[in-house]
Structure 1
Amino acid sequence: MSTSVIWQRSSFSGGSEGNNCVEVRIYAGRIHLRESDAPDAIVTTNRTHLSAFIRRIKAGG
C-alpha cells in the first residue's frame, strides 16, 4: 500500500502520547483500520461490512 495516503485519527482517541489511537484511511475503494501502536497490523474492509459491524456493536451484539 502506498505510504502517501494519509491516515486519520479518531477524535475519541484520548491521551497526549499519540500511541493509543485508532486510525482509518480509504484507499483503492477499501477502508483500512489500524492502531497507531501497531501500524503494520491493518484490517481491511468495505463500507457495507464496516457499517454492519458498527450497527451490531451499537445494538449490544
Structure 2
Amino acid sequence: MTRDIVWQKSSFSSGGDSADCVELAAVDAVVLLRESDAPSRVLSANPAELAAFVRHLRREAE
C-alpha cells in the first residue's frame, strides 16, 4: 500500500505557486524536505536533526 505524502509549503516562500520554496512533510517519525523546483530530490531527517540544522542556519545568518 502506498501512502500519499502531504507537502506543506514554507510560510517564508515567495508566495503563490512560485517554484522558489521549501516544502516539508511528516511521515511517521521522519521529516521530509524538498524544493518545489526539484521535487524529486528529497532530504529526510528526524525532528532532532532538523532542529539542529535550523539552529545552525540561524547562527550562520547572524
Where structure 1 has 5 or more consecutive residues not aligned to the other structure, the ranges are none
- Report the Cα distance in structure 1 between the residues aligned to 2:15 and 2:26, rounded to whole angstroms: 25
Where structure 2 has 5 or more consecutive residues not aligned to the other structure, the ranges are none
| Alignment root-mean-square deviation, CA | 1.8
Determine what percentage of the aligned residue pairs are the same residue: 37
Q: TM-score, normalised by structure 1?
A: 0.83
Q: TM-score, normalised by structure 2?
A: 0.81
- Report the Cα distance in structure 2 between the residues aligned to 1:47 and 1:16, rounded to whole angstroms: 27
How many residue pairs get matched? 60
Q: Are 1:33 and 2:33 an aligned pair?
A: yes
Deviation at 1:17, TM superposition (A): 4.5
